[in-house]
A = this chain, B = another copy of it.
Amino acid sequence: MKPSTSYHTQHAPLGAFASFTVGRHGARGGFGQSLSGPAQQNVFVGYRPAGESTWRLLPFFDPGPQRGAEAFTGESGTTAPPSRRALASEEFTRDLNWASDVWRSGSFTFGLATPWDRTPDPARSNKVTQQAAFAPCIYGWIEFDNHAGSGPVELVFGIGDSAHPWRPLNDTAADLVGFAHTHTLGYATRPSPEVEARQAFAFEQPAFRDHRGLHLLGPENALVFQVPTGARRRFPLALGFYQGGQVTSGLTARFHYTSLFRDLEEVLRYGLAAHRRRLQLAARRDAALARSSLSADQRWLIAQATHSYFGSTELLRRGGKPLWIVNEGEYRMLNTFDLTVDHLFFELAWFPWAVRDTLVLFRRRYAYRDTVHGPEGRRAAGGISFTHDMGVSNHFTPPGRSSYECRDLHGCFSHMAMEQLVNWICCAVTYARHTRDLAWLRREAATLRACARSLERRDDPDPQRRDGLLKWDSDRCGPEGSEITTYDSLDVSLGQARLNLYLQVKALAAWWLLEEAWAALGDRPEAKRARASADLLARTLEAKYDDQLAAFPAVFEGGNRSIILPAIEGLVFLLHLGREHLLRRRYPALLARLEEHLRTALQPGICLDATSGAWKISSTSTNTWFSKIALAQHVARRLFPHAMSPAARSADRVHADFQRGPLLGGHAMVDQFHSATSQPLGSLYYPRGVTSVLWLNERPSSTP
């Protein structure tokens, strides 16, 4: 069966926290600024065949009744039924690629491009470079090949917004034809005799026309293009966003692009002027993904995930300096650290300064020092850690505090001191080693040292009692609470941080990376101490393997018998830095057991859903997360290819079909869903799936 094309995709510029969302059949979408889900506009894209009165439109609108002229005339039946028909899914194709999304129906084509490139540090690059990188603009085109046509054909791109009439751009900008909502968003093309602006209660048959043929009260606005008989035409579209003024509180900041563009009109002009170049760039990104040895479903997952990631990015400007944010999808938390650690791989490839800046902001404003409590009621000073996030909904929380973390809890919304401490180390060293930014690493040496001490003390403040495992909870949790991991909504197999398998393996990676950092910085005693910690932890871990279970238990206490995929997650940083062989050489016994663990896990009914075949994060939870599946797949294929059962290998199609399917397809990329039914369980419109770009690092041989 052909994959479904009925899913929303976020078409989003880098750093504008804005998306033009379309694709779900029969659903609204359109231009959304900083929303938690799709906007609610009808999007009209299609054509009127020669000699026909009915428009054929891509199914980007809700065909239900709208409030039309009746609201003014007080009489029903004033608005004629519209002459439009939504194309059925079998009448068109859709091709979502890494930086483009193209629909074709016969001679008709509609495309949207969201290109990006390696992006230099906005604190150090020139305006021209930055305009290309950060123009809050999407590049569309609409096309018809009327060579064999029997008469002229009309094309349309338009918006139906029942909440506000839009304004015709040509009123104030002679070189643009299109429409805008206030100063904040809109679309345009260049004026020409072949393009006509329409504004009406129904774009295809304006019942009311002012002196230039528009009706400014009309909720529908559109560009209608003429394609003469025997001709082929391709019209460029610029879709832009512009939010001026302060957009955040706590730390007040503007959008960075406001220093590059004066207003929406300037953005749209730029979008049209740069159109050809930007489409070429998008084609390069698409080609790169196509060149990979990945399957069509894998490529689709990467493309869809990357689009949603861009929709959550927000580059601000404060005190003349850039301030990087990734919003947490529908939740809109700012720079959630346990997402930063997953976005790391994409960001290191394209804009590593974003990783660095985020780490610095965590260290400067969102670090804290706590006290901790451990087994047998012991209490002690803890050390440095970092908050879960920096705020929510464009509000920066006070220093050292997140929007998420609450007291006296054992589950969702508890603190994540262990998790974020490990995350800072893994991100910082992976960044510095990947980019060879030794100068930065040196500047952060004191923080790294504090992190190392903190990590040791969360094993045990008493050096004599250490076994490498993190087991001391932060007092920030309160007397009644305990720490959790990023897997907050899973069961205890991943919810509890203390003595959690996932976190211990990640801590092993942290020690390894610390060792590398100290070696690079020439601090041999610290390097030795880090290595000793890693070795101790590895030995302790090995011993936790349960032969009966043929796996590691998820939690090393309370008789837990869950089996989890994130057992191998922490190894990703070492793979990313190319330490695969070193790792195999240094910890062969542990790796052998992790391979056995994975072999056990990747059986139907364990960490493969028995009904659907989807990968499951935990054997004891049906809540599974795509971003983490993608990460586990990557580590498994690179490090433990023999554990990949045929069932495990064939799951990409299941994961892709879930995302494209009836339950998830209306929310762009969804991270959390039910492994059997694909019911969404949270994390809609979510950036984290971009972790799947790790797959591009896999050699063909590792994807058998």
Contacts and interface: CB of A to CB of B under 8 A. Distances in A.
A210 B489 contact: no
A240 interface: no
A392 B216 contact: yes
Nearest to A167: B395
Contact of A209 (B71, B78, B406): B406
Nearest to A330: B71
A209 B408 CA distance: 8
Interface in A389-436: 391-395, 397-398, 401-409, 411-413
Nearest to A169: B249
Q: Which one of A36, A73, A246 has the highest number of Cβ atoms from chain B below 10 Å of its Cβ?
A: A73
A109 interface: no
The A interface, classified by DSSP as helix, strand, loop or mixed, is loop
Interface string A329-340: 011110000000
A565 to B, nearest CB: 17
A623 interface: yes
Contacts of A163: 36
Q: Which one of A73, A216, A682 has the highest number of Cβ atoms from chain B below 10 Å of its Cβ?
A: A216
B208 A74 contact: no
A403 B245 contact: no
B164 A393 contact: yes
Contacts of A78: 412
A682 B74 contact: yes
Contacts of A249: 167, 171-172, 180, 182-183
Contacts of A75: 489, 681
Given A208-B406, A412-B73, A217 B392 contact: yes
A693 to B, nearest CB: 25
A682 to B, nearest CB: 5
Interface in A116-171: 163-167, 171
Interface in A370-392: 391-392
Interface residues on A, range: 35 or more
A244 interface: yes
A210 B406 contact: yes
Nearest to A409: B208
Contacts of A216: 391-392, 395, 397, 403-404
Contact of A73 (B244, B246, B398, B489): B489
A215 B397 CA distance: 11
A275 to B, nearest CB: 24
A331 B163 CA distance: 10
A172 B250 contact: yes
A180 B73 CA distance: 38
A247 interface: yes
Contact of A74 (B74, B217, B245, B672): B672
Given A165-B393, A250-B172, A682 B71 contact: yes
Nearest to A404: B217
A69 B164 CA distance: 32
Contacts of A413: 72, 208, 215, 217
17 contacts: A74-B489, A74-B623, A74-B681, A75-B681, A78-B412, A165-B392, A172-B249, A182-B249, A182-B395, A183-B245, A208-B413, A210-B401, A210-B402, A210-B405, A210-B407, A215-B413, A216-B392
